[in-house]
Chain A
Amino acid sequence: MILPEAATTPCRLDRLPEAATRADLEASYAARGAALVMCDSARRLAVDTLLAERALLDRWSEPPGRRPPWPLR
């Protein structure tokens, strides 16, 4: 199973520009929150991919007679 690109992309830390204004601070605050949410989404994507891959291997390694009814979920 291919790991999505989003799962391997580093999270992003938004930083203040030079001579920052209050608008910059507020925008940066919002951008950091957005980055956190997207980073968590990418983390969940990576974990789900890993768990799905493990489940796939578990199902594949089960003897045919013991395989759960199709489809599993």
Chain B
Amino acid sequence: MKPLDVFRTLTPPGWGVAAALALAAALALALALGQGLGLRWDPFGLAGRRLAAAQARAASAESDAAARRLEVEAAADQARRLDLHHQQAVSVAVATDRAETEARSADDASTPLDPARAARLREHDRRLCELAPAVCGAAPDDPARGGDDSVPARPVA
């Protein structure tokens, strides 16, 4: 049997199958040639979607890393600010203790304050405490709230 005799013996469905096989072979050959030439055939955009997803993941990771760097830097800055504040507190406490010690050791340290002057000062303090109770400390224990002008604030040496 000659090769051409095969075609003569094909029935119409056989021709259809042969045509489909030939088409598939031509398509495969075209795809192979296209790949070799750098062409890409991606009718559903699967590769594009995979690429976009990978790029999104990379961008997200980069964004997270940048956020962590920003947080670390901000935390370091905040620690420096807190340290400055604490140093300031220590320096202020030392200076104030020294001033109080000198005040307590002065010759007239135990001389009572003029009652009229003390009353004026307490009245002013009382008014300030009314305006800004938070700066006057624990209000319930403060006798000044009961109408008394005495306003204890710190232990008397």
Which residues of A line the B interface, CB within 8 A? 1-2, 4, 6, 10-28, 30-31, 33-34, 37-38, 41-42, 45, 48-49, 52-53, 56, 59-60, 64, 67, 70-72
Are A22 and B73 in touch, CB under 8 angstroms?
no
Enumerate the 6 nearest inter-chain pairs by beta-carbon distance, A residue then B residue, closest first. Answer: A15-B153, A23-B109, A26-B103, A10-B134, A30-B99, A34-B96
Give the shortest distance, in Å, between B117 (CB) and chain A (any CB): 8
Give the interface of B toward A (CB within 8 A): 62-63, 66-67, 69-70, 73-74, 77-78, 81-82, 85, 88-89, 92-93, 95-96, 99-100, 103-104, 106, 108-113, 118, 121-122, 125, 128-129, 132, 134-137, 150-157
Interface of B is mostly: helix
> Is B122 touching A15 in the complex (CB atoms < 8 A)?
yes
Whether the pair B85, A21 counts as a contact (CB closer than 8 A) is no
Name the contact of A52 in the complex, choosing from B62, B77, B150, B156 (C-beta under 8 A).
B77
Assuming the contacts A38-B88, A42-B85, A49-B81, asked whether A30 and B70 have C-beta atoms less than 8 A apart, the reply is: no
* Chain B contacts for A10, CB-based, 8 A: 134-135
Cβ 8 A contact of B88, one of A1, A37, A52: A37
Interface of A is mostly: helix
A22 lies within 8 A of B111 (CB): yes
**Cross-chain contact A34 with B95 (CB below 8 angstroms):** yes
Set A13, A34, A72: member contacting B125, Cβ < 8 A: A13
* B100/A12 in contact, CB under 8 A: no
- Report the separation of the CA atoms of residues A16 and B108 in the bound assembly, to the nearest whole angstrom: 17
Q: Are B81 and A17 in contact (CB under 8 A)?
A: no
- Neighbouring A residues of B74 by C-beta, 8 Å: 1, 52-53, 56
